[in-house]
A and B are shown apart, each in its own frame.
Chain A
């Protein structure tokens, strides 16, 4: 009996030691992210991260705020305005967030849909306004000259309504950077180009998906039509039954009215 108690105690303490070790592991969440830039304004450091290198399409951005004593600030309001500076004009792009409360890692998340690549045509910067509600200070920082890579995942859908007004929808396809045979989750973003500076999300659309293999003349079974989730995002799945060259048509409708079809190509 004594032996049993001893054994239980031993095993128990072993578990506790192991458990402690795990909780002591302090994982730096930003290690898995790409640092886009750092800016300091009046003692406040703003670090801008993204999941990967910025590119045309949907990008998830993370803001980390730290004060002069290197303490993380979690009570803050952040707004941002990405602007593309071109020779003759400037324009913005669809933006959502950052959220008013940080995520569990203390990072403020936002989503930006870049609609153009940086380069010869112009440069992107992102102006960020921070209200530090812990000490009630305001800050403005600018992340200049952001590198945004080109993709062919952004399409414009031009719809002429009954009043002969041209409505431009900006549609981007995301999630197919590394396509595989089988079901691939995808995110389609749909925003309306209201002005050069305003791109509100469009939430009440229905989207149907139609992948095709032109070399074979067939489509695929098992696709899931994207449905609206949030921030102009429509989430669904595309099924690739084999490798090769695929086209994917998304037909976008508002109620019974078809706004049009955008086509993407995937080759793997």
Chain B
């Protein structure tokens, strides 16, 4: 963006001098891998002039004196246009970094330094204390479920858990907590993120079949540099409200042929206070995260990437639950090989193999008021391993075919042991060693039919095999499903189609239809008496559940002008076999109101709109805002769906100069009275919270970041928050970042 504005300025200043010639030259690289792009087209707009890149990704052209708009395009990448001013006998450098093809069904946000940019959320500023969830929630249609202050769970348009697919760099991983206290997003530190890709509903099915949406977190990768280079930063931050202290660092070694990146973060927080000064017990936590990446260039066209993520959280309080987490641990490793130019038609190929393990230990040993004088432990474990192969095929600029074959295996085991005083320990297996494997085939075809019209079709087939392997767990489920072999084979078919059309130059309209499917989660198919604090019921899995299906239609409109942009999305989902908990018994005992069983809940609907706007009052003064509204119904129960956010508004005003920025942002919601009664949800009152933050470059390489969250000290909780626990009251935060720039580099 800065680059463009820089050249725009040059462009404006450039006069109509005599027609002489100069040279423009540069290199085109893949932004995600840093590899040069061979055969990229370089076109000078409004002139019948062009060039192409050589084997090193370089190009050069002779141009007359003057100002030009130069567009770079290559199959599989989003084209980019930059302005250049050519002076007589001078040589200008114009480098392009192209983004791998972005399908319009997906939304991206990029995290670069302290700035977050993306579709319609141009200027929401990130602070050093932002979490991964904070960043995800900047996207229209994303809300968070809070169970405490840690590990909030993202929902896309009110859909979460098994209705969503969350991957890290395309790698599958599954939370090990039966109460969903560890969404995969909680194992990734915001500092280590490069971008977040969001697909809503079944509009993006590359990473797996889904009905509710997909979320792929991509991590910062090691990078190359023309000559050896070392970069580092350290950050320290403090939040007065939760007494959170955070330290993080990163170190990057870049060479022409390889790159190493190492980053880490440590966070420790105490219980926070709400706006009335009341301490919310069990909201503190401690966390340590490490990321290591190594990239090696094998030749001009191929590279190897090795990545490792380790995340450890300790003593995580969950105020909305009767238990806390002793530890939550992720270990993840991946190895991928990327190559270009295997053959003229295979533009890109990637092969990846990965594995990860999550151990999650939930217990109530830190609680004083114990349930019936007993302690309990609820450990859970997941192990996942998988592999995929991506191929991008294309013959010319106008059409492309993307193929993915993926495979993974995962196993989930959880149990619960209670220790009554003076009596025998009581144990039950809650996830009966469920082993599941999945084989998927994905293909996507993109074509430019006429210059202003794009068509995008994708399809996915999945084969799932699931079975319960733990004997005790099998015996438990056989109480309810005698003779059931607790094994299931599912065939899933998902497809979508998008047509994008530029109605007029600055009005792009995209019509999408999609059909998605998902299999029941481990809890839904095989869970055994899992407690849900929202309705206070125990939930029993149902191995005979049908596959849940969705049909989706969506109409997106994007208007752009020189001063900003505006977008409006209208969407409608219709579900069949919506998986839902039905009350089986209301015999209340000690902590539970009874028990429910997951059943085929029949048909359900969600419809809504997302409206957002970005406006630049001046180059330095930017407004950004949006409104989301969603309505739902669960037909057979004559009820609303649970976890549906109310009417939400958000907005921000940013003033930015070269050395500082200040931003005021606000987030509010109307009251939610369309709450799901069957699910035991309450209605939630309206709120409006305001945050203020800013950043100052004190010295080259030294930055100060500070702000106040919940400026007006609103006492509020959001509709999706469990247990109606209030959010933190007004609190200030401050952080400092020091990087290698301080050394004069």
Contact = CB atoms under 8 A, between A and B. Distances in A.
Interface of A: 180-183, 213, 215-222, 239, 241-245, 267-268
Contacts of B656: none
* Closest 7 pairs between A and B when the two form their complex, measured CB to CB: A182-B475, A244-B426, A242-B428, A222-B479, A215-B420, A218-B589, A239-B479
Contacts of B424: 243-245, 267-268
30 contacts: A181-B472, A181-B475, A181-B476, A182-B478, A183-B475, A183-B478, A183-B482, A215-B420, A215-B423, A215-B426, A216-B372, A216-B590, A217-B372, A217-B589, A218-B587, A220-B479, A221-B595, A239-B479, A241-B476, A241-B479, A242-B416, A243-B424, A243-B425, A243-B428, A244-B423, A244-B425, A244-B427, A245-B420, A245-B423, A245-B424
Contacts of B529: 241
Interface residues of B, number: 28
Instruction: Name the residue among A181, A183, A267 with the largest chain B CB count within 10 angstroms.
Output: A181
Interface string B584-609: 11010110100100000000000000
Nearest to A222: B479
Contact of A182 (B374, B427, B472, B595): B472
Contacts of A239: 479
Nearest to A244: B426
A247 B540 CA distance: 23
A243 B425 CA distance: 7
Nearest to A242: B428
A248 to B, nearest CB: 15
Given A183-B475, A183-B478, A221-B585, 11 more contacts: A180-B475, A181-B427, A181-B472, A181-B475, A181-B476, A215-B420, A218-B592, A241-B476, A243-B424, A244-B425, A245-B423
A54 to B, nearest CB: 28
Interface string B439-478: 0000000000000000000000000000000001011101
B321 to A, nearest CB: 18
Contacts of A242: 416, 426-428
Contacts of B584: 221
Contacts of B587: 218-219
B471 to A, nearest CB: 9
A243 B479 CA distance: 14
A243 B427 contact: yes
Interface of B: 372, 374, 416, 418, 420, 423-429, 472, 474-476, 478-480, 482, 529, 584-585, 587, 589-590, 592, 595
A245 B425 CA distance: 8
Contact of A181 (B418, B420, B428, B480): B428
A63 to B, nearest CB: 36
Contacts of B589: 216-218
A220 B427 CA distance: 14
A36 B29 CA distance: 88
A221 B426 contact: no
A221 B587 CA distance: 11
Given A222-B479, A242-B426, A268-B424, A180 B472 contact: yes
B441 to A, nearest CB: 39
Contacts of B420: 215-216, 244-245
Contact of A216 (B426, B474, B478): B426
Nearest to A212: B589
A147 B407 CA distance: 62
A222 B589 CA distance: 17
Contacts of A244: 418, 420, 423-427
B644 to A, nearest CB: 31
A220 B529 CA distance: 11
A215 B529 CA distance: 17
A222 B480 contact: yes
A180 B472 CA distance: 8
B537 to A, nearest CB: 13
Nearest to A243: B427
A215 B476 contact: no
A218 B529 CA distance: 12
A244 B472 CA distance: 14
Contacts of A218: 587, 589-590, 592
A267 B424 CA distance: 7
A31 to B, nearest CB: 28
A52 B453 CA distance: 82
B480 to A, nearest CB: 6
A220 B478 CA distance: 13
A198 to B, nearest CB: 39
Contacts of B474: 182
A243 B476 contact: no
Contacts of B592: 218
Contacts of A181: 427-429, 472, 475-476
A181 B425 CA distance: 13
B421 to A, nearest CB: 9
A220 B585 CA distance: 11
Contacts of B418: 215-216, 244
B242 to A, nearest CB: 35
Contacts of A222: 479-480
Contacts of B475: 180-183
A27 B684 CA distance: 73
Contacts of A243: 424-428
B426 A183 contact: no
A180 B470 CA distance: 13
A261 B653 CA distance: 74
Contacts of B478: 182-183
Nearest to B427: A243
Contacts of A180: 472, 475
A206 B290 CA distance: 65
A215 B590 CA distance: 10
B479 A221 contact: yes
Contacts of B416: 242
Instruction: Name the residue among A220, A222, A239, A242 with the largest chain B CB count within 10 angstroms.
Output: A242
Contacts of A182: 472, 474-476, 478-479
A213 to B, nearest CB: 7
Contacts of A245: 420, 423-424, 426
A7 B397 CA distance: 62
A219 B480 CA distance: 14
Instruction: Name the residue among A217, A218, A222, A239 with the largest chain B CB count within 10 angstroms.
Output: A218
A116 B482 CA distance: 36
A181 B429 CA distance: 9
A218 B591 CA distance: 10
A268 B425 CA distance: 9
